[in-house]
Structure 1
Amino acid sequence: MDDLRIRAARIDEAQAVLDFWALAAEGTSVSDDLAGVRGLIARDPGALLLAEVGGVLTGTLIAGFDGWRCSLYRLAVHPDLRRRGVAGALLAAAEERFRELGGRRGDAMVLERNEVAHRAWRAAGYEREDHWRRWVKSLAGG
Protein backbone atom coordinates (compact mmCIF):
# COMPACT_ATOMS: atom_id res chain seq x y z
CA MET A 1 0.00 0.00 0.00
CA ASP A 2 1.57 3.21 -1.17
CA ASP A 3 -0.27 5.50 1.22
CA LEU A 4 0.20 3.39 4.37
CA ARG A 5 1.48 5.43 7.31
CA ILE A 6 2.51 4.20 10.78
CA ARG A 7 2.47 6.63 13.70
CA ALA A 8 1.99 6.78 17.46
CA ALA A 9 -1.53 7.27 18.82
CA ARG A 10 -2.62 10.43 20.60
CA ILE A 11 -4.66 10.45 23.80
CA ASP A 12 -7.61 12.05 22.03
CA GLU A 13 -7.79 8.99 19.75
CA ALA A 14 -8.46 6.50 22.56
CA GLN A 15 -12.16 6.08 21.75
CA ALA A 16 -11.43 5.61 18.04
CA VAL A 17 -8.93 2.87 18.95
CA LEU A 18 -11.50 1.13 21.16
CA ASP A 19 -14.09 1.33 18.37
CA PHE A 20 -11.55 -0.09 15.93
CA TRP A 21 -10.73 -2.99 18.26
CA ALA A 22 -14.43 -3.83 18.51
CA LEU A 23 -14.40 -4.25 14.73
CA ALA A 24 -10.96 -5.72 14.03
CA ALA A 25 -9.48 -7.33 17.16
CA GLU A 26 -10.07 -10.80 18.54
CA GLY A 27 -11.07 -10.98 22.19
CA THR A 28 -11.06 -8.31 24.84
CA SER A 29 -8.82 -7.26 27.69
CA VAL A 30 -9.46 -5.87 31.15
CA SER A 31 -7.72 -2.70 29.88
CA ASP A 32 -10.06 -2.18 26.92
CA ASP A 33 -11.58 1.06 28.14
CA LEU A 34 -10.83 4.77 27.89
CA ALA A 35 -8.82 4.82 31.11
CA GLY A 36 -6.70 1.88 29.94
CA VAL A 37 -5.91 3.23 26.48
CA ARG A 38 -5.36 6.77 27.71
CA GLY A 39 -3.14 5.50 30.52
CA LEU A 40 -1.00 3.53 28.05
CA ILE A 41 -0.51 6.54 25.79
CA ALA A 42 0.21 8.87 28.72
CA ARG A 43 2.78 6.51 30.23
CA ASP A 44 4.50 5.55 26.97
CA PRO A 45 3.50 7.87 24.12
CA GLY A 46 5.25 5.77 21.46
CA ALA A 47 3.82 2.38 22.45
CA LEU A 48 0.46 2.36 20.67
CA LEU A 49 1.16 2.29 16.96
CA LEU A 50 -1.54 3.10 14.44
CA ALA A 51 -1.59 2.23 10.75
CA GLU A 52 -3.50 4.59 8.50
CA VAL A 53 -4.37 4.49 4.83
CA GLY A 54 -5.56 7.79 3.48
CA GLY A 55 -5.91 9.08 7.04
CA VAL A 56 -8.26 6.21 8.00
CA LEU A 57 -7.33 3.88 10.88
CA THR A 58 -6.55 0.45 9.41
CA GLY A 59 -4.43 -1.27 12.06
CA THR A 60 -3.01 -1.15 15.58
CA LEU A 61 -0.19 -2.67 17.57
CA ILE A 62 0.91 -2.05 21.13
CA ALA A 63 4.72 -2.20 21.29
CA GLY A 64 5.58 -1.77 24.95
CA PHE A 65 9.08 -1.84 26.40
CA ASP A 66 9.68 -1.83 30.14
CA GLY A 67 13.47 -1.81 29.96
CA TRP A 68 13.58 -5.61 30.08
CA ARG A 69 10.98 -7.05 27.72
CA CYS A 70 9.63 -5.99 24.36
CA SER A 71 5.93 -6.84 24.55
CA LEU A 72 3.55 -6.91 21.62
CA TYR A 73 -0.22 -6.76 22.05
CA ARG A 74 -3.35 -5.93 20.08
CA LEU A 75 -2.08 -6.50 16.54
CA ALA A 76 -5.30 -5.82 14.67
CA VAL A 77 -5.96 -5.01 11.02
CA HIS A 78 -9.25 -3.99 9.48
CA PRO A 79 -10.86 -7.16 8.07
CA ASP A 80 -11.11 -5.66 4.56
CA LEU A 81 -7.39 -4.82 4.47
CA ARG A 82 -5.80 -8.00 5.77
CA ARG A 83 -3.02 -9.68 3.81
CA ARG A 84 -1.93 -6.36 2.27
CA GLY A 85 1.11 -5.59 4.39
CA VAL A 86 -0.48 -3.59 7.20
CA ALA A 87 0.49 -6.05 9.96
CA GLY A 88 3.99 -6.37 8.55
CA ALA A 89 4.44 -2.60 8.51
CA LEU A 90 3.22 -2.34 12.11
CA LEU A 91 5.58 -5.11 13.21
CA ALA A 92 8.52 -3.53 11.38
CA ALA A 93 7.82 -0.21 13.14
CA ALA A 94 7.54 -1.96 16.52
CA GLU A 95 10.78 -3.90 16.00
CA GLU A 96 12.59 -0.71 15.01
CA ARG A 97 11.24 1.00 18.13
CA PHE A 98 12.49 -1.86 20.26
CA ARG A 99 15.96 -1.79 18.69
CA GLU A 100 16.19 1.97 19.31
CA LEU A 101 15.25 1.41 22.97
CA GLY A 102 17.78 -1.41 23.41
CA GLY A 103 15.31 -4.29 23.26
CA ARG A 104 16.54 -7.75 22.41
CA ARG A 105 13.50 -9.92 21.70
CA GLY A 106 9.86 -9.33 20.84
CA ASP A 107 7.33 -11.23 22.92
CA ALA A 108 3.79 -11.39 21.50
CA MET A 109 0.57 -12.18 23.35
CA VAL A 110 -1.63 -14.22 20.99
CA LEU A 111 -4.94 -15.87 21.83
CA GLU A 112 -4.65 -19.66 21.77
CA ARG A 113 -7.83 -20.05 19.70
CA ASN A 114 -6.87 -17.47 17.06
CA GLU A 115 -5.40 -19.66 14.31
CA VAL A 116 -5.41 -16.80 11.80
CA ALA A 117 -3.18 -14.81 14.14
CA HIS A 118 -0.88 -17.80 14.65
CA ARG A 119 -0.26 -17.96 10.92
CA ALA A 120 0.38 -14.21 10.73
CA TRP A 121 2.88 -14.22 13.59
CA ARG A 122 4.63 -17.29 12.17
CA ALA A 123 4.88 -15.61 8.75
CA ALA A 124 6.49 -12.59 10.45
CA GLY A 125 9.22 -14.81 11.90
CA TYR A 126 7.86 -15.31 15.42
CA GLU A 127 7.89 -18.74 17.04
CA ARG A 128 5.58 -20.21 19.63
CA GLU A 129 7.16 -21.07 22.98
CA ASP A 130 5.24 -23.95 24.48
CA HIS A 131 7.38 -24.21 27.62
CA TRP A 132 6.00 -20.90 29.01
CA ARG A 133 2.53 -20.26 30.37
CA ARG A 134 0.94 -16.97 31.27
CA TRP A 135 -0.11 -16.51 34.90
CA VAL A 136 -2.50 -13.67 35.64
CA LYS A 137 -4.27 -12.03 38.54
CA SER A 138 -6.84 -9.31 38.04
CA LEU A 139 -6.01 -6.15 39.95
CA ALA A 140 -9.23 -4.43 38.94
CA GLY A 141 -11.85 -4.05 41.63
CA GLY A 142 -15.19 -5.73 41.35
Structure 2
Amino acid sequence: MNDLRIRSASPDDLDAVLAFWKTAAEGTSISDDRSGIERLVARDPDALLLAERGGELAGTVIAGFDGWRCHLYRLAVHPDQRRRGIGSALLAAAEERFVSLGGRRADAMVLDRNDQGQRTWRAAGYGPEEQWTRWVKPLAG
Protein backbone atom coordinates (compact mmCIF):
# COMPACT_ATOMS: atom_id res chain seq x y z
CA MET A 1 0.00 0.00 0.00
CA ASN A 2 3.05 2.28 0.20
CA ASP A 3 2.68 3.20 -3.44
CA LEU A 4 -1.02 4.10 -3.12
CA ARG A 5 -1.73 7.80 -3.42
CA ILE A 6 -5.15 9.32 -2.73
CA ARG A 7 -5.86 12.81 -4.00
CA SER A 8 -8.66 15.06 -5.16
CA ALA A 9 -9.42 15.02 -8.86
CA SER A 10 -8.59 18.00 -11.01
CA PRO A 11 -10.37 19.08 -14.20
CA ASP A 12 -7.55 17.40 -16.16
CA ASP A 13 -8.55 14.01 -14.69
CA LEU A 14 -12.19 13.98 -15.74
CA ASP A 15 -11.95 12.18 -19.10
CA ALA A 16 -9.82 9.47 -17.49
CA VAL A 17 -12.37 9.12 -14.67
CA LEU A 18 -15.24 8.68 -17.11
CA ALA A 19 -13.29 6.03 -19.03
CA PHE A 20 -12.34 4.34 -15.75
CA TRP A 21 -15.98 4.10 -14.63
CA LYS A 22 -16.85 2.23 -17.83
CA THR A 23 -14.38 -0.46 -16.78
CA ALA A 24 -14.60 -0.42 -13.01
CA ALA A 25 -18.05 0.84 -11.97
CA GLU A 26 -21.25 -1.19 -11.89
CA GLY A 27 -23.95 0.49 -13.96
CA THR A 28 -24.15 4.04 -15.20
CA SER A 29 -25.85 7.17 -14.05
CA ILE A 30 -27.54 10.00 -15.88
CA SER A 31 -24.81 12.26 -14.51
CA ASP A 32 -21.91 10.13 -15.79
CA ASP A 33 -20.84 12.63 -18.39
CA ARG A 34 -18.21 15.33 -18.72
CA SER A 35 -20.51 18.20 -17.81
CA GLY A 36 -21.84 16.35 -14.76
CA ILE A 37 -18.46 15.74 -13.18
CA GLU A 38 -17.20 19.16 -14.27
CA ARG A 39 -20.01 20.69 -12.18
CA LEU A 40 -19.13 18.42 -9.25
CA VAL A 41 -15.44 19.39 -9.28
CA ALA A 42 -16.23 23.08 -9.83
CA ARG A 43 -18.70 23.16 -6.92
CA ASP A 44 -16.68 20.98 -4.52
CA PRO A 45 -13.10 20.47 -5.71
CA ASP A 46 -12.32 17.90 -3.02
CA ALA A 47 -15.40 15.69 -3.46
CA LEU A 48 -14.05 13.37 -6.16
CA LEU A 49 -11.24 11.33 -4.65
CA LEU A 50 -8.87 9.29 -6.78
CA ALA A 51 -6.60 6.43 -5.77
CA GLU A 52 -3.50 6.00 -7.89
CA ARG A 53 -1.04 3.16 -7.83
CA GLY A 54 2.10 3.40 -9.90
CA GLY A 55 0.77 6.55 -11.55
CA GLU A 56 -2.34 4.72 -12.82
CA LEU A 57 -5.91 5.34 -11.72
CA ALA A 58 -6.88 2.44 -9.46
CA GLY A 59 -10.05 3.67 -7.74
CA THR A 60 -12.52 6.47 -7.17
CA VAL A 61 -15.12 7.62 -4.70
CA ILE A 62 -17.30 10.71 -4.62
CA ALA A 63 -17.51 12.05 -1.06
CA GLY A 64 -20.19 14.71 -1.29
CA PHE A 65 -21.21 16.90 1.63
CA ASP A 66 -24.18 19.23 1.42
CA GLY A 67 -23.55 20.94 4.74
CA TRP A 68 -25.84 18.54 6.56
CA ARG A 69 -25.31 14.99 5.35
CA CYS A 70 -22.49 13.06 3.82
CA HIS A 71 -23.11 11.10 0.63
CA LEU A 72 -20.90 8.49 -1.01
CA TYR A 73 -21.13 7.60 -4.68
CA ARG A 74 -19.06 5.88 -7.32
CA LEU A 75 -16.81 3.78 -5.10
CA ALA A 76 -15.06 1.86 -7.85
CA VAL A 77 -11.81 -0.08 -7.97
CA HIS A 78 -10.23 -1.34 -11.16
CA PRO A 79 -10.93 -5.08 -11.52
CA ASP A 80 -7.19 -5.88 -11.63
CA GLN A 81 -6.62 -3.95 -8.37
CA ARG A 82 -9.44 -5.33 -6.21
CA ARG A 83 -8.90 -6.99 -2.83
CA ARG A 84 -5.78 -4.90 -2.18
CA GLY A 85 -7.20 -2.33 0.24
CA ILE A 86 -7.85 0.42 -2.29
CA GLY A 87 -11.58 0.65 -1.60
CA SER A 88 -10.94 0.71 2.15
CA ALA A 89 -8.33 3.46 1.73
CA LEU A 90 -10.74 5.52 -0.36
CA LEU A 91 -13.51 5.12 2.22
CA ALA A 92 -11.14 6.09 5.04
CA ALA A 93 -10.15 9.24 3.11
CA ALA A 94 -13.81 10.07 2.43
CA GLU A 95 -14.77 9.57 6.07
CA GLU A 96 -11.82 11.71 7.19
CA ARG A 97 -13.04 14.44 4.84
CA PHE A 98 -16.54 14.21 6.28
CA VAL A 99 -15.34 14.45 9.87
CA SER A 100 -13.21 17.50 9.02
CA LEU A 101 -16.30 19.16 7.52
CA GLY A 102 -18.42 18.40 10.57
CA GLY A 103 -20.36 15.53 9.01
CA ARG A 104 -22.00 13.09 11.41
CA ARG A 105 -23.66 10.51 9.17
CA ALA A 106 -22.77 9.10 5.78
CA ASP A 107 -24.92 7.22 3.33
CA ALA A 108 -23.94 5.27 0.26
CA MET A 109 -25.72 4.68 -3.02
CA VAL A 110 -25.51 0.98 -3.90
CA LEU A 111 -27.40 -0.69 -6.73
CA ASP A 112 -29.76 -3.45 -5.60
CA ARG A 113 -28.27 -5.84 -8.15
CA ASN A 114 -24.65 -5.09 -7.19
CA ASP A 115 -23.96 -7.98 -4.79
CA GLN A 116 -20.21 -7.36 -4.71
CA GLY A 117 -20.76 -3.69 -3.92
CA GLN A 118 -23.21 -4.53 -1.14
CA ARG A 119 -20.68 -6.94 0.42
CA THR A 120 -18.01 -4.24 0.25
CA TRP A 121 -20.20 -1.64 1.95
CA ARG A 122 -21.28 -4.07 4.66
CA ALA A 123 -17.66 -4.97 5.38
CA ALA A 124 -16.96 -1.24 5.79
CA GLY A 125 -19.70 -0.95 8.41
CA TYR A 126 -22.49 0.43 6.22
CA GLY A 127 -25.88 -1.20 6.03
CA PRO A 128 -29.39 -0.65 4.76
CA GLU A 129 -31.83 1.30 6.88
CA GLU A 130 -34.99 -0.72 6.90
CA GLN A 131 -37.23 2.26 7.64
CA TRP A 132 -36.16 4.16 4.51
CA THR A 133 -36.78 3.63 0.85
CA ARG A 134 -34.90 5.97 -1.41
CA TRP A 135 -37.13 7.61 -3.99
CA VAL A 136 -35.44 9.16 -6.98
CA LYS A 137 -36.46 11.25 -9.93
CA PRO A 138 -34.11 12.20 -12.76
CA LEU A 139 -34.15 15.96 -13.28
CA ALA A 140 -34.08 17.65 -16.65
CA GLY A 141 -30.80 19.41 -17.07
Q: TM-score, normalised by structure 1?
A: 0.97
After TM superposition, which residue ranges in structure 1, 4 or more long, deviate above 2 angstroms? none
Matched, 1:16 2:16: yes
Where does residue 92 of structure 2 map in the other structure? 92
Q: Number of aligned pairs?
A: 141
Instruction: Show structure 2 runs of 5+ residues with no match.
Output: none
Q: Tell me the distance in 2 between the aligned counterparts of 1:5 and 1:40.
A: 21
Deviation at 1:54, TM superposition (A): 1.1
Q: Tell me the distance in 2 between the aligned counterparts of 1:38 and 1:25.
A: 18
Deviation at 1:13, TM superposition (A): 1.1
Deviation at 1:35, TM superposition (A): 0.1
Q: Tell me the distance in 1 between the aligned counterparts of 2:138 and 2:125.
A: 31
Where does residue 133 of structure 2 map in the other structure? 133
Q: Tell me the distance in 2 between the aligned counterparts of 1:99 and 1:83.
A: 26
Matched, 1:78 2:91: no
Deviation at 1:2, TM superposition (A): 1.7
Deviation at 1:130, TM superposition (A): 2.3
Instruction: Show structure 1 runs of 5+ residues with no match.
Output: none
- Mapping of 1:116-127 within 5 angstroms? 116-127=116-127
- Could you say what the CA RMSD is over the residues aligned between the two structures, in angstroms? 0.8
Identity %: 70
- Mapping of 1:17-56 within 5 angstroms? 17-56=17-56
